[in-house]
Amino acid sequence: MKTIHQTAVFEPREAGRNIVVGPYAVIEGQVKLGNNIKIHPHVVISGLVEIDDNVEILPFAYIGRLPSTSPAIKQSSENYTQLTKISSGTVIGPHAIIYAGCQIDQECLVGDAASVREKVIVGQQVIVGRHVTIGPNVKIGARTRIVDFAHITGETVIGEDVFISTHVCSANDNSFATGDNIILKGQTIGDRVHVGLGAMLLPGISIGDDSVIGAGSIVTKNIPSNKLALGQPAKVIRDI
């Protein structure tokens, strides 16, 4: 059974059973839909996209968006044709944008107005909070939580069971994008790391497993495992 609102554009490559599509939704391109999927009004799904069973996509979300190109943007001309995959049991919040080539594992939650850039890999049961922005080529381990308004820079690796608090900000470029041969290098964050409210993570640093970064800290150097680090710049205070 499929319930397709008459104002929707429903042209997937393949579609399963029990699909509900709200008014003004657009599903087109090489889209494959599983079973028991609910697509709310004004959702756009386009390109090479695969959505597994029991997924819900709330109003105005956009799945499979291609990166914008402009002469003002120093960006490769790569053709983003990789599969965008949303695995079973995941919920995509209203106005969220999932770019082409993203892989989102089972039972994740992508919050309202979150932006997940191209080629991001998200493990199972991850929570991406409201208005979170995630740059390209990021890997996020299972059961990690990234809280509202955090920014995860591109080329970052985050382990499993990590907690990143609200308004945490990270960067991957020390040159302010002024050079011709810019090398972007994000953070490497180990398993079970906790990053406190409003912390800043500078390019290329690593944080070892089970460490804690205090609220408002500025991390300019690597932090070993099992440490509490605080301050501006952050310094190791004690073992955990």
- Does the pLDDT at position 76 exceed 60? no
* Distance of alpha carbon 227 from alpha carbon 14, whole angstroms: 50
Give residue 175's pLDDT.
73
Give residue 77's pLDDT.
46
Show the tokens assigned to 157.
Answer: 């690796």
- Does the pLDDT at position 71 exceed 70? no
Query: In the β-sheet with 188-189, what is the strand arrangement from edge to edge?
Result: 14-15, 31-33, 49-51, 84-86, 103-104, 121-122, 139-140, 157-158, 188-189, 206-207
With a pLDDT cut of 90, the percent of the chain lying above it is 87
Domain boundaries, the chain: 1-65+81-131, 143-174+184-240
CA 190 to mean position of chain CA atoms: 17
pLDDT in tens, 2-29: 899 989 999 999 999 999 999 999 999 9
CATH number of 1-65+81-131: 2.160.10.10
- Does the pLDDT at position 74 exceed 60? no
Quote the Cα angle for 203-126-35, to 5°.
135
Read off the pLDDT of each residue in 64-74 and give the average, rounded to a whole number. 76
Three-state SS at 176: coil
Query: Are 157 and 189 within 8 A, CB to CB?
Result: yes
- Does the pLDDT at position 149 exceed 60? yes
- Does the pLDDT at position 60 exceed 70? yes
Is pTM beyond 0.75 here?
Answer: yes
Domain 1-65+81-131 and domain 143-174+184-240, same fold? Reply is yes
Give residue 72's pLDDT.
64
With a pLDDT cut of 70, the percent of the chain lying above it is 92
* Distance of alpha carbon 100 from alpha carbon 21, whole angstroms: 21
- Does the pLDDT at position 55 exceed 50? yes
Q: Which residues are catalytic?
A: 167
pLDDT band of residue 126 (cuts 50, 70, 90) is very high
Query: Are 90 and 73 within 8 A, CB to CB?
Result: no
DSSP letter at 209 equals T
pLDDT in tens, 84-114: 999 999 999 999 999 999 999 999 999 999 9
* Distance of alpha carbon 170 from alpha carbon 220, whole angstroms: 11
Q: How many helices (H) and strands (E) does the chain have?
A: 0, 34
pLDDT band of residue 184 (cuts 50, 70, 90) is confident
Residue 191 CB neighbours (<10 A): 17
Show the tokens assigned to 138.
Answer: 């990021």
Query: Any idea which fold 143-174+184-240 has?
Result: UDP N-Acetylglucosamine Acyltransferase; domain 1 (2.160.10)
Give residue 38's pLDDT.
98
